[in-house]
Structures are given as C-alpha cells and as structure tokens.
Structure 1
Amino acid sequence: MKGSTEKRLLNYAVKFKKTILIGLVCLVIAVALELAGPFIAKRVIDEHITGIETTWHQVDVQDDKYTVAFNGELYKREDRLAKNEQSLGKASLLQVGRSYYLTKSEVSQSGERSVDNGIVTVETPAGKEQAEAEKLTVAELYHFFKPEQAPIIWLLVLYVALLLIAAIFQFGKTYLLQKASNKVVERMRNDIFSHTQEVPINYYIDQPAGKIVARVTNDTEAIRDLYERVLSVFVTSIIYMAGIYTALFLLDFRLAALCLILLPVIFLWMKVYKHFGTKYNRVVRSTVSEINGNINESVNGMPIIQAYQKESQVSSEFERMNERHFDYQRKLVKLSALTSHNLVNVLRNLAFVAFIWYFGSSSLGLESVVTAGILYAFVDYLTRLFHPVNDIVNQLPLLEQARVAASRVFELMDEQGEAVDTQPIEKYQGHVQFDSVWFSYGKEDYVLKDINLDVRPGETAAFVGHTGSGKSSIMNLLFRFYDPQRGRITIDGKDTGRFSRQQIRSHMGIVLQDPFLFTGTVLSNVTMNDPNISREMAIDALKAVGADRFIDRLPAKYDETVKEGGGTFSMGERQLISFARALAFDPSILILDEATANIDTETENLIQQALDVLKKGRTTLIIAHRLSTIQQADKIYVLDHGTIKEEGNHQRLLEQKGLYYQMYQMQQGKLKEQVVS
C-alpha cells in the first residue's frame, strides 16, 4: 500500500493499536496525576498557609478541631463558621511586613498595609481602614496554624501518593509504547526482508549489496528510534501540554490564552526544520549507504586492492564520501544548535516577561484578587510547560532522520515484487524444452535469439561457447531468475510461467563455478537447515561425492565450523560440499555452471567422480569450460552470439569440424604445450 511516508508509518503503528491505546491511557492518567500537584500546592498555600489571613469570629464553644483558643477567647475562621453558629465578634489576622497582627475588629484583607503604634492601616480603593492590633509572637501565631497541620499533612501525603501512582502508570506507558515500537519495527524488518526475496534478481544486479543492507539495518534502526523515542516523546509532550493548558485555563483564562501563542511558534518551527532537515538528511542517509557499499566492496576485494597497490585510491574514494557525510552532518548540527535550545529559552523568557507584566501591572495592585497559591501554581505550570516544548524541539533531528530513513525503506518495498509461493508441486520427470526463446536483459540487444532445445529426462546436455555467447543466460531463464520476452520454456510439457519461481526451483539443484558456503557447519551447509533432510542423509550425500576424505581430517568432522564464504576450505572442498548439498535435495534437474572451471587437474578427477554420482538418474545441464569434462554428454549445444550454431554429441561435433572442433583443437593444443613445458 502506497501513500505518504507519514501515513504508511501510521499504518504500521495501527497494527498494534491495542497496546498503543492502553499505553496512551496510562500516559493520560499519569499526566493527570502529576498535574494535580500544583493544584494541591495551591490549596495548601491558599487555604492552609496564607488562608489564616482572613476574618476570624469569636465563638463561645470549642465544638470542633478548627476552633482556636487565644488569650482566653475562642476564635474560628469565617469560612469554617457553621450557618447556625453564633458570632460574638469579628477580628482580622493579617501580615504586615514579616510580622502578623490580630485586630480587634474586621478590616479588609486586600490593599496596602502598614502599622504604627499598634494601629493597623489598610488602604483600599474605597478609602483607609484602621483598627487596633496586637502583634503575635511565633508561639501565639502557632495557635492559629495548628488546626491547619493535619490538612496540610494529608494533602502532602495525597501529593506523594499521586506521584507514586503516576510513576506506576508512567512505567506502564513507557513499557507498552516501547513494546509496541519494537513490535512495529520487527514487523517492518520482516516485511522488508521478505520483500527482498520477492524482488526480481535484476534489482540486486543494479544495487550494491551494501546499500540494501543499509536499508534493512541502519534505516530500520532509525525508524525504531522514531517509534520508540520520537513518537513516544511527541505523544507524551502533546498530552502533557494539553493537561497543562487545561490547568492554566482553570486558573486564569486570559493568561492561558496568551500562552497559546506557543503553539503556532512550535508548528512554524517544525515546518522550517522539516524543510531543511529533510534535504540534509537525504544526503546523509544516501551517503551512509554508499559508505556501507564501499566498505563491503573493499573488504571483499581487499586481496585485489593490495595486489594492485590501490590502497591510496580506495582511501581517497572513501574520504570523499566521508567528507560529504561530515559536511551535511555539520549542517544538521548547525541547524539544531541555532534553534533547539535557544528557541526554547527565548520562548520561556518571553512567557515569563508576559507573566510578570500581567501580574505586575494589573493583578498585584490594590484591587488584586490573585492569591499566593494561584501565583505559585501559574509559575509551576509555566515551568512545566517548557519541558515538553524542549523535548519536542530536541526530537526534531531524530524525527527528520527517521522520516528520510522510512522513505528509503518504502522505496525498496515499492519495488515490484512477486508473492512467494512454496506450495508443493509434483516432482519433475525432467523433460526440458526451449521453444523459439528470445531474451534480453534490457529493452534491446537480445542475448538469446530463437533458442530451440530439447533435453529428455535423464539426459546430460552441455552448453559451450565463447564468453558472452549466452550459456549462463539459458540457465538463468530455466531457473526463472529472468523470463524470456518471446517464446516459451516448458518442463514436462508445462509452461514454467504457470508456476511461481519458488515452485519451479523446488525440484532443481544448482552448483556454481564459485560455490558459496554459509556461516554455520559443514552439515548445515548441506541441509540448508531444511527439516526434511536428516543428519544421516546429509552425511550419506557427503560420502557419496567423496567429501568424507577431507572431512575425516577435520577436528570436528561433519560439525566443523564454516566461516563466511567458506574461506578456510579450498575451492575443491567447497565444490564437493556444494555437490553434496545438491545431492541431498535430490533434484530432478541439475544445473552445473562451469563447476570444474577453477579446479586443478588433480582435484578434477575427484570432482568428476562426484559429478558422475550427482548426475545419475537426473536431467543435467552443464555450462562447460573444459571440453574434456563433457565428452560423455548426450547432447552438446554450441552457442555463438546468442544462437545455437551446432548440436550433437562429442564425436559427431568433431566430425563436423565446425566451431566445436576448433575449440577442442585449441584446448588440446594448450594441453600439449603445458605437457611439453
């Protein structure tokens, strides 16, 4: 399914929506619990600390814990006086400077306060209010604070409890979102790796292996960061900011509205960063792929590089790519350094300037109705607001890096592929026919022209010709690495195009000129970890081709470790293992692609014996380099520039004295020269 990169990334996340939704619920609960803190602090300050600065009523009965005894009289706060409770008189408790005073009568709690000779004066917009006051010592003031101790302790216990519960939900959120993130990337890696097996073989010819590896590993790792860190931070920050804005609106609508300016600023900055960050990251990710491809090629070709003394040239090529990578990484760093931390600092400072202006100019005057608790809560929420803002801005580099990496991954996944179909089909008898087959690797220049051939079950057919004559192309078509543009290929009379590529190959075996061994053991290279091939079957196959002669000398014998490419084994030993692999799978059709071309004469005899075992009862097609190895073939096809020039067995072709005869005489002459020398 195609679409924008963001939409396709979202579609992957939707596959694990249950886990993600539970994680988001945990996040919302955790945020709500955390943001309850400033409200609790506001209540502690306004109701239980500065709350004692209010009107107090003198009562005659100490009927509850909120009644305060002072100088032989009983007092109760106005907000805690019951409706049916009689007041014997009013007094005010208020702070002037750093001291507290209890007036003999009620005075306003708002306004500018002063005290002189035991008289408290409060200046309000309505005028001056004065009252006789008694200065309280710390011990005396404690009487008025004492009823507030229990509520303060319970509110603080509640605050701590909410933080602990929030921590539990934060853990759940982190665990679930990261679990979902890893699941998403696991699914994506499986999808892309499966797709690499569906993409036609010509894609791999055009693309260096290192670039493909970079997309499956490096790019998907960047996407993992996107799901695990970036999106988690974005979602957490957005929900956190939403909670903070909700709290700010509950406290003061006008100041909260002023703080909304942050949102378009952040959005605008994200758009700007996306524009430049995407451009720079595309170059960086592409260069990383080129570097991987260069390293892969250099490591594999190191013997040639050193033999031809090309170290400085290879190093120069690598340095050019590395320099380009450095230049664009520097641009990304500069882009982030100029804005990320600086941007948040500027926004934070502007917000606090607005905050100070707002409260300083209009809310702290004589008519002020803003409490110390609201003031504290606002400062706390504003401070908290910039944490998610900072997190979002700091994640922008990773976000753009992941977006570019995702687009590269989806480019590979958009390559036209074919579904893998391994449904078993009936085993071949092995009758191979090419009917007027034309084939070109490109749009023009056919490498095979009007090929007609007929190989009966159990026959051995050999293909000879100069380099570029089309021998390997015939095998590529039979193995369905490619399909012909014209004509048809049949096996047992059935068109190969009717079956999937996997089904066609299921009863074929191939042995290449340069056999490839996988990391593992000798036995795992024979069985290819196929559960249908037992250990005994694999050992029998190795013995049948004569590989036991060198395996018995190995320390671990059949369980000897094979390193990448089988570099610790000789060419002949690797070839024998590949013969055993083909034999163990018991194919109906066997393809030998110049299997003896790189083998020395002494080893060739051993290989030839193994081939005789391998070919028995099978249709065998051989691409031959040494004509001496195909003299017993039932049919020999001589190719020249994509056409079949001659056809027959060895003796018949020699009698024709055509191309085959010339090739045979040339090789015989070389052999005589080698013997003489």
Structure 2
Amino acid sequence: MTPNPNPKTAKRLFQYALTAKGIFIAAFIALSIGVAAELAGPFIAKNMIDDHMLGIEKPYFETTQASNAVSYQGHLYKRGDRFEANESKGQEVRILQTGRSFIFIPEAVVNPNGDRKFADGQFTIKHGDKQETYPATKLSANELYSFYKLEIPGILKLVGLYCIFLIISIFTEFGKTYWLQSSANKVIQKLRTDVYSHIQRLPVYFFDTLPAGKVVSRITNDTEAVKDLFVAVLSNFSSGFIYIIGVYIALFMLDLRLGLVCLFVVPLLIVWIILYRKFATRYNTIIRSRLSEINAIINESIQGMSIIRVFRRQKQTNEEFESLNEDYLKHQNKMLNLNAFTTHNLVNVLRSFSFAVILTYFGFGTLMGGAAVSIGVLYAFVDVLGRLFQPITGMVNQLAALDSSMVSAGRVFTLMDEEGEAVTDGEMPRYKGNVQFKDVSFAYNKDYVLKNINFEAEQGQTVALVGHTGSGKSSIINLLFRFYDPQKGQIRIDGQDVKDLPKQWIRHHMGIVLQDPYLFTGTIASNVSLGDDKITREQVDKALQDVGADRILAHLPQGFDEPVVEKGSTLSAGQRQLISFARALAFDPAILILDEATANIDTETESMIQSALEVLKKGRTTFIIAHRLSTIRNADQILVLHRGEIVERGNHDELMQHQGRYYQMYQLQVGTTTSAESETVPSVSMASPTLA
C-alpha cells in the first residue's frame, strides 16, 4: 500500500489545522505585524538618506526668518521644503558634493546630476557633451556642520523609530514562532490520537496483511513528518507568503516601474515548485515506503531474535536489511542531488538577475541624463529586494520537507480511510451463552474454509474442537468473536443473530485463553485486570488464587505486584498461562474460549490447573481447541473437523465406540505417549506436532 499525495490530503490537513485556528490566526496576525515592522526599516533608511543625509543637496533659499535657517557668511539660508506657506523665498543657492568635498554655489543649478568637478573657484557639471559652470566656494568642516546640524534631530527621531519597529519585530517573531509551533503540536496531538483510535477500530483481519512495524511507522514516523509540515513548512511558507506580499507592496510604494520589473520572480517560483514536486514526490513516496519496511523488518527481527540465532539466519537477515537500507539510501541521495542542484542555485540566480535588472534600469536612467530614482530610493529598493529572497530561500529550502510531509500525510490518511468497525457506547446485559451455528459457511478469500457448520452449545456446556491443521477450528472461534462474519448461514447467541448486535457488546461477555498468552508491561495484577476499574484488587487476588497462581508465583519478591516486562519474557510459559487463566476468570465471561491453552504447560502445572479449569468453566459455555485429546475427555460435545466440515460429533465415549477419525487420532496420540514414556521422554514434547 503506497499512497500518493493528492489535493484531498491538503484539504484534510487544512481541516485539522482548523482545530487550532484561533492560535494560527494569532500567529498570522503577529507575523503580519512583524513583517510590516521589519519592512519599515528600508523606508526609514530611505527618508534618512534622501531627506537628511543627502537632503543637503536640495535647493536652499535666502530668508529673513531665523527659524530652521543656517547662517553662512552673514546670510540666512533655509532649505526649500522647510518654508512656511506664506513665507517668501530669496535667492536660490545649492550645496553639492564632489569627491569628499561639499561646494557652496550662490545661484540656482539647472541640473545637478552629472560628472562634477571643482577647481579654481569654478564648479563644473558635465552632461555628455554639454557642461555647466558655476562660481563656487568649498565649505569648511564647521560650515558644513552648520548646514548638517539641523538634520541631526530628524536623524535621531528616525533612529528611535527604527528601534521601536525593531522591538516590535522581535516580540512578534517570538509570538509567531511560539503560536505556530504550539498550534502545530496541538494539531499533531489530535492527528495521532485519531490515528491510534482508528487503529483500535480496524478489523482484526486488517493486521493479518500489514506488518506491525509498518503500522508503528504510520503512527510515529509519518505523523512526525506531518508535524514538520506544520512547524517548519507552514511557518516558512506562511511567513514567506506574507513577507513576499509585504515586500512587493513596499517595492511598488518605492517605485512602480521597478516593482513591475521585479514581478518576474513570482511566476518563476511557482513553476519551480510545481516542477520540483513532480520529481520529489516520486522519490519521497519510495523513501517513506522503505522506511516503513525497515521498521517492519527491525520489529520482526527483534520479535524473532531467538529463532534467527538458533537457525543461524543472521547473514540472510542482514542481507535483507541491507538491501532495503541500500534502496532507501539511493533514493535519499536522489533527493539530496535534486536539492543541491536546484534550491540554492535557483535563489542565487534569481537574486543576481534581479539586481542586474535594477542596476541596468538605474544606469540607463543616469546615462539618459536624468536619475531614474533617488539614491535613497535605490538603497531602499535594493534592501527590500534583498529581503524578498530571504523568505524565498526559506520556502525553497523547505520544499523537500513539504513534499515528504505531504507523502507522509497521504499515508496516514490512507490508513485512516480503511473501513473500521463502528464503536457503540454502552453494553448489553450478560447473556446466558447459548450458541448456535446454523448452516455456516465462511471463506477468507475465495475458497471456503468452513462448509455448512451446524451445532448448538448450551449454557454450562463444554464443546471441544479437534482436527488437523487447517481443518477450521480457529475459524469457528474467529466467527464467534466476530473478527469475521460468515458469507452464509447464521450464528446466534441466546437465539439472537450476532450481526444484529454491536461487536463490542458481544465481546464484552467473552473471554479467551491462548496457547501463548500475551502479557503487557506492568505488574501481574494489572495483567489480570487490564486496568478495568470494575475489577477490584480483591477480585484479582481471588482469581489468581483460584487458578493456583499463588503457589506458582509465591517465590516472586513482590508477589502479585511483581513487574512484568513486555510479553512477560521473565516468566515461564506455565506462569504466563496461569495469569491468563486468572484474567479470564476475573472478567467472568459468559462464553470462554480455551485455544490450546494447556499445550505449552508441563504435566505438573497442567494437573494443578485442571481443577481451576473446572472452576473456570462452571456456568459458562466453554469452547476448547485442544492438542491433547486427554484434556477433553470430559467435554459435553466434541466436534471433529476435517477440511472445514464437521465429520464426527459426540462425547468421548461415543466417538471412541464409533471408531472413526477421532478414535484414530486418540489411539495415535496415546500410542505416541506410551512409546515416549517407555523412552523416558516427556509426553508433552511429542503431543504438539500430532494435532494442530
């Protein structure tokens, strides 16, 4: 199952994002304020350059008002843009710079732009083949300062304003980062919860074809990759998108023509993202799939480590792992090559080309005899345009994470799209446990493994299922638990069709003891109650005592509170089985299934729990799948299955008198046991392979 990302994936991710929309909105507001505050910097710099640092080259006029005026050689001069509306202007003068010197020209200058020179009291401005000459005087440092002194308050005001915007930017950056990440964590928490909850609803047969390692990879690795989407990718793309909008607004405010020229960056970026994802999606789909397969083989190797060691399969297992790992590395390298070849190169090319366009535009404007833009505008424009490529770099660098996250999200949603079982609240009263199979036929795929099964089991009866491997014993139990439903026929409990009842309600009053019981990490007591609040500690202790576990487990330092590691590997098979028996007894089921429950128990332990079995079966309908036919001699009904059909039925004595298939199996087993005992070999070691 290798899903591909599609538009629905993005839509579903957006729906999950809406679960934390309040925090996301707060983050975007903070982001917008931060972008505006940050982009205010170039505008402040533009005003500082044009209005104050280079403002000295603007026209000055002689005045009689001392306010905002400069005294020079007994005359008062004021910059033209600082006159009041009703204030009269006198003779125009100019102060122009050439090299590191500033020159006072006591008359108006027609066009101050051009190649400037000052020599022998003459200031010359060349415009191509033409030139203009004006009488001029070089300003001393003190005289120059007297003209600049009036600009200092304005410069300090702009610096203070810049600091305010800088502080706003710092706080909004913190708010944006914190809110985006906290909202992302909230979204991923819900996604993981939903995935895990959905897994609990998936039918049992789903896990027959999907290895546990792949399921774990979906819940952990893939959801973590989706987290990267919200934390890193969304942060970079959303901030980048808003930043780019803000930059272009700033560019158009600075100069409309240059802003239009720089629009070429946007379509190039969009085309690149589309082309990049076309190749990256292909690689990432394989990468995520191989990662799942690696997790699956690691999980399988750990679970079967003893078998690998016993049969010396280390080399073959390593080769399988290395093959997967090599393929994973190969496609990771393809992604690295794709990123290295394109991401930074693309941004650098775009940046260089944009600056070349601006310089060309400005240069041609100068050569044509007029400045295309002022120095302040040019500085601000270059500054703002440089800031444009910061978010573009962030977005391009996150393309790999974006595509990987979308692939992972597609895998997660594919798992969540698997049809699950409906969960119905509440529970039904404890039923009696009268079970009826009527004309039941069932197939896992095409071929029927059960054919026309008919039998009845009344409350308190014990029904044994025997037969060779593949005869259909476990399939009957699977149908009883409703892990599967039959294609034909009916299964009734207390006269009611099981299909008319919620599966959880039916299973609530069923218990099972497996041949190899599964114990969870915790304590012996917690493995009996499984954390059910309805089962008290007194009931747990009594269940363990009734099955004789208090004698078998008496040597443990902490008794029934002894810690149990995963799968109960520190306990013997007999001890685990006793705990499993106590678990079934504590839950007090109406229907009890013993699936070869005594196959792995030694003779001494078996004799100890035989009496416990009688207690366990009392008042319950019990189904036993047995290897050892000696353990079912007291069963009320024995069903002998062969190739999915019931070929014999009756109690032990009746079947022995019939001398059919059951009689042959019993004689074969008893004969094997007798032979084994004559060779002083325990009977348990030979009984298991005989029947399955």
* TM-score between the two structures when normalised by the length of structure 1: 0.96
* Amino acid corresponding to residue 664 of structure 1 in structure 2: Y
**Secondary structure of the structure 2 residue equivalent to 1:426:** coil
Q: Which of these residues, 543, 546, 549, is aligned with residue 544 of structure 1?
A: 546
Q: Bigger CA drift: 454-463 or 611-620? A: 611-620
Q: 2:212 & 2:425 partners in 1: Cα distance?
A: 26
Pairs within 5 Å for 1:411-450: 411-443=414-446, 445-450=447-452
Match of residue 37 from structure 1 = 41
Match of residue 665 from structure 1 = 667
Deviations 1:256-292 (A, max 9, x none): 1121111111111111111111111111111111111
Query: Residues 3, 634 of structure 1: CA spacing in aligned structure 2 closer, same or farther, 3 A cutoff?
Result: farther
* Amino acid corresponding to residue 668 of structure 2 in structure 1: M
* Amino acid corresponding to residue 156 of structure 1 in structure 2: V
Deviations 1:524-570 (A, max 9, x none): 21111122222222222222212122433222222222111110000
Q: 1:581 & 1:201 partners in 2: Cα distance?
A: 21
**Secondary structure of the structure 1 residue equivalent to 2:272:** helix
Deviation at 1:88, TM superposition (A): 4.1
**Secondary structure of the structure 2 residue equivalent to 1:261:** helix
Q: 2:260 & 2:58 partners in 1: Cα distance?
A: 31
**Secondary structure of the structure 2 residue equivalent to 1:76:** strand
Match of residue 473 from structure 1 = 475
Match of residue 298 from structure 1 = 301
* Amino acid corresponding to residue 395 of structure 2 in structure 1: I
Deviation at 1:111, TM superposition (A): 2.2
Q: 1:128 & 1:85 partners in 2: Cα distance?
A: 34
Match of residue 575 from structure 1 = 577
Q: 1:260 & 1:549 partners in 2: Cα distance?
A: 83
Match of residue 622 from structure 2 = 620
Q: Which of these residues, 391, 400, 403, is aligned with residue 403 of structure 2?
A: 400
Aligned length: 673
Pairs within 5 Å for 1:354-503: 354-363=357-366, 366-368=369-371, 370-443=373-446, 445-503=447-505
* Amino acid corresponding to residue 20 of structure 1 in structure 2: F
Pairs within 5 Å for 1:67-82: 67-82=69-84
Q: 1:480 & 1:451 partners in 2: Cα distance?
A: 16
* Amino acid corresponding to residue 605 of structure 2 in structure 1: T
Query: Residues 422, 513 of structure 1: CA spacing in aligned structure 2 closer, same or farther, 3 A cutoff?
Result: farther
Deviations 1:496-530 (A, max 9, x none): 10122211101111111100001112122111112
Regions of 4+ moved over 4 Å: 123-129
CA-based RMSD of the aligned residues comes to: 1.8
Deviations 1:125-150 (A, max 9, x none): 99754433221122221111111111
> Share of identical aligned residues, percent?
51
Match of residue 235 from structure 1 = 238
Return 5+ residue gaps in structure 2 as ranges. 1-5, 680-692
Judge conservation of contact 1:54–1:109 (CA < 8 Å) in 2: no
Q: 1:340 & 1:125 partners in 2: Cα distance?
A: 44
Match of residue 53 from structure 1 = 57
Deviations 1:583-611 (A, max 9, x none): 11111111110100111112111232332
Return 5+ residue gaps in structure 1 as ranges. none
Q: 1:339 & 1:327 partners in 2: Cα distance?
A: 18
Deviation at 1:198, TM superposition (A): 1.9
Deviation at 1:108, TM superposition (A): 3.7
Deviations 1:362-404 (A, max 9, x none): 2465321521110110110111111111111111111111121
* Amino acid corresponding to residue 28 of structure 1 in structure 2: S
Judge conservation of contact 1:125–1:367 (CA < 8 Å) in 2: no
**Secondary structure of the structure 1 residue equivalent to 2:54:** helix
Match of residue 337 from structure 2 = 334
Query: Residues 618, 20 of structure 1: CA spacing in aligned structure 2 closer, same or farther, 3 A cutoff?
Result: same
Deviation at 1:61, TM superposition (A): 3.3
Match of residue 323 from structure 2 = 320
* Amino acid corresponding to residue 323 of structure 2 in structure 1: R
**Secondary structure of the structure 2 residue equivalent to 1:330:** helix
Match of residue 690 from structure 2 = none
Q: 1:88 & 1:169 partners in 2: Cα distance?
A: 50
Judge conservation of contact 2:365–2:372 (CA < 8 Å) in 1: no
Pairs within 5 Å for 1:14-29: 14-29=18-33
Match of residue 8 from structure 2 = 4
Q: 2:497 & 2:643 partners in 1: Cα distance?
A: 26
Judge conservation of contact 1:34–1:163 (CA < 8 Å) in 2: yes
Are residue 177 (structure 1) and residue 180 (structure 2) matched? yes
Match of residue 684 from structure 2 = none
Q: 1:521 & 1:347 partners in 2: Cα distance?
A: 63
Deviations 1:419-478 (A, max 9, x none): 2224211111111111111111112x2111111111111211111111111111111100
Match of residue 599 from structure 1 = 601
Deviations 1:594-642 (A, max 9, x none): 1001111121112323322222221111111111111222221111111
Deviations 1:136-174 (A, max 9, x none): 122221111111111111111111111111221122211
Match of residue 507 from structure 1 = 509
Judge conservation of contact 1:437–1:452 (CA < 8 Å) in 2: yes
Q: Which of these residues, 148, 151, 155, is aligned with residue 152 of structure 1?
A: 155
Q: 2:247 & 2:450 partners in 1: Cα distance?
A: 72
* Amino acid corresponding to residue 33 of structure 2 in structure 1: I
* Amino acid corresponding to residue 509 of structure 1 in structure 2: G
Deviation at 1:342, TM superposition (A): 1.0
Are residue 588 (structure 1) and residue 590 (structure 2) matched? yes
Judge conservation of contact 1:226–1:399 (CA < 8 Å) in 2: yes
Q: 1:446 & 1:111 partners in 2: Cα distance?
A: 96
**Secondary structure of the structure 1 residue equivalent to 2:95:** strand
Judge conservation of contact 1:29–1:166 (CA < 8 Å) in 2: yes
Judge conservation of contact 1:108–1:122 (CA < 8 Å) in 2: no
Q: 2:294 & 2:369 partners in 1: Cα distance?
A: 70
Judge conservation of contact 2:362–2:371 (CA < 8 Å) in 1: no
Q: Bigger CA drift: 129-138 or 502-511? A: 129-138
